[in-house]
């Protein structure tokens, strides 16, 4: 059977693959420490679950409008108005089956063959492949830990060409947890003004910030609204990963095109999940639960960064948001595992060694466009963080 060539350049998600492998090992009784999954380890707050149960009891189990129930879209618009002081109509909001689905729809609706999308590295694994599947070309702007994973203005300007259709801004970032500087946001704003370039602001970690406060481009320049798509969702903030609710607020033409695609693919997100998301955005007590989660993540952030930086050969960036540690392990790659004939050489081989011999699941930095790093999710208990860091230290010590 001949399959579609458009998938030739797309690789399976390494985060999902590693998480699945770790889960399989755990099911066999192997004591694996899982740092791979990008999801909160907290339960969905009870008030949100109660909203879903109420929806079931009331028989709210049928199709809804493709773009989401009006009251949820209105709640999303009200949230954006309150937090960023920009106004969206409910028709300018599309509710999708998760933030990933929202981004997929966006690139399918926006890009033509050969259109370019500027992406700052390290980048979330799916950005580049989503762009490629839509016929676009990812243009990567490299950053490093030494610059706080913040691109220089000259890099951004150089990346923009007559074929640039969009720039992705993800702050706090997956995988680094880095917060883009105001200088970077201002450079992006200046670069797109007077053009038709769209800023895709992926704000999925906007409530998980530990240093300073969250800002996106519309906070700095509301007049840019016709050139901005705000993408967000319920997964990270409200610990609702499995409920699959994400959304996009943006220019009407873009939202209508995305809805047309959604009409003919998934149609509406799950009706019960939409009611749960409405509860997350509107019911009392939810914000307090989110703040408890944020404070716990912050404690874990400080702890895991200190533990990793204490390991010889490991340098760990101190993230400003999200729930990822992204240490530089390049100093370990020139060494070899016991009994090996040559050095590790790549972060992929280090990750394989870490899982197979030391029972720690992490994701190689090369999956995010950053060879020589690895990503560890600290959305797990302090006990697991300590156990995992002990094993990473043992692995580093064992290298020759």
| Domains recognised in the chain with CATH numbers | 5-43+287-398 (3.90.1150.10), 46-284 (3.40.640.10)
pTM of the model: 0.96
Condensed to tens digits (0 to 9), the pLDDT of residues 30-64 reads: 999 999 888 999 999 999 999 999 999 999 999 99
The answer on pLDDT for 21 being more than 90 is: no
Condensed to tens digits (0 to 9), the pLDDT of residues 63-109 reads: 999 999 999 999 999 999 999 999 999 999 999 999 999 999 999 99
The answer on pLDDT for 7 being more than 90 is: no
364, 14 Cβ separation under 8 angstroms: yes
Q: With cut-offs at 50, 70 and 90, classify the pLDDT of residue 242.
A: very high
Q: What is the CA radius of gyration of the chain?
A: 21
pLDDT of residue 246: 98
Condensed to tens digits (0 to 9), the pLDDT of residues 295-349 reads: 999 999 999 999 999 999 999 999 999 999 999 999 999 999 999 999 999 999 9
pLDDT of residue 12: 79
The answer on pLDDT for 6 being more than 90 is: no
Q: With cut-offs at 50, 70 and 90, classify the pLDDT of residue 15.
A: confident
User: Distance between CA 92 and CA 113 in Å, rounded?
Assistant: 26
Q: With cut-offs at 50, 70 and 90, classify the pLDDT of residue 248.
A: very high
Q: What average pLDDT does the segment 206-218 reach?
A: 97
DSSP string, 47-81: HHHHHHHHHHHTT--S---TT--HHHHHHHHHHHH
pLDDT of residue 205: 98
Residues ≥6 apart with Cβ < 8 Å to 220: 182, 185, 186, 189
């Amino acid at each position: 059977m001949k399959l579609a060539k458009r998938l030739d350049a797309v690789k399976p998600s390494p985060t999902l693959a590693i998480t699945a492998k770790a889960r399989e090992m755990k099911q066999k009784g192997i004591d694996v420490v899982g740092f791979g999954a990008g999801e909160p380890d907290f339960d969905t707050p009870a008030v949100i679950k109660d909203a879903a149960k109420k929806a079931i009891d009331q028989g709210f189990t049928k199709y809804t409008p493709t773009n989401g129930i009006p009251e949820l879209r209105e709640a999303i618009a009200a949230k954006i108005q309150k937090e960023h002081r920009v106004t969206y109509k409910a028709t300018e909001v599309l509710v999708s089956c998760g933030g990933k689905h929202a981004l997929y729809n966006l690139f399918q609706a926006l890009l033509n063959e050969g259109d370019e999308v500027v992406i700052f590295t390290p980048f979330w694994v799916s950005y580049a492949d989503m762009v490629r599947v839509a016929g676009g070309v990812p243009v990567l702007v490299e950053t490093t830990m030494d610059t706080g994973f913040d691109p220089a203005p000259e890099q951004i300007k150089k990346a923009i060409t007559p074929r640039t259709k969009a720039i992705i801004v993800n702050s706090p970032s997956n995988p680094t947890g880095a917060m883009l500087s105001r200088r970077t946001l201002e450079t992006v704003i200046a670069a797109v003004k007077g053009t038709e370039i769209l800023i895709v602001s992926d704000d999925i970690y906007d409530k998980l910030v530990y240093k300073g406060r969250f800002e996106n481009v519309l906070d700095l320049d509301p007049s840019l609204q016709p050139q901005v798509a705000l993408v967000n969702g319920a997964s990270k903030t409200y610990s609702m990963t499995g409920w699959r609710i994400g959304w996009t607020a943006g220019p009407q033409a873009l939202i209508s095109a995305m809805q047309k695609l959604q009409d003919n693919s998934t149609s509406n997100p799950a009706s019960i999940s939409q009611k749960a998301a409405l509860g997350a955005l509107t019911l009392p007590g939810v914000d307090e639960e989110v703040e408890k989660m944020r404070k716990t993540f912050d404690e874990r952030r400080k702890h895991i960064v200190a533990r990793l930086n204490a390991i010889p050969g490991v340098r760990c960036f101190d993230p400003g948001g999200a729930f990822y540690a992204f240490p530089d392990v390049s100093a370990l790659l020139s060494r070899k595992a016991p009994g090996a004939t040559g050095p590790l050489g790549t972060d992929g081989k280090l990750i394989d060694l870490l899982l197979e011999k030391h029972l720690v699941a992490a994701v190689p930095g090369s999956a995010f466009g950053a060879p020589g790093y690895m990503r560890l999710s600290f959305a797990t208990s302090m006990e697991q963080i300590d156990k995992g860091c002990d094993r990473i230290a043992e692995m580093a010590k064992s290298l020759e």
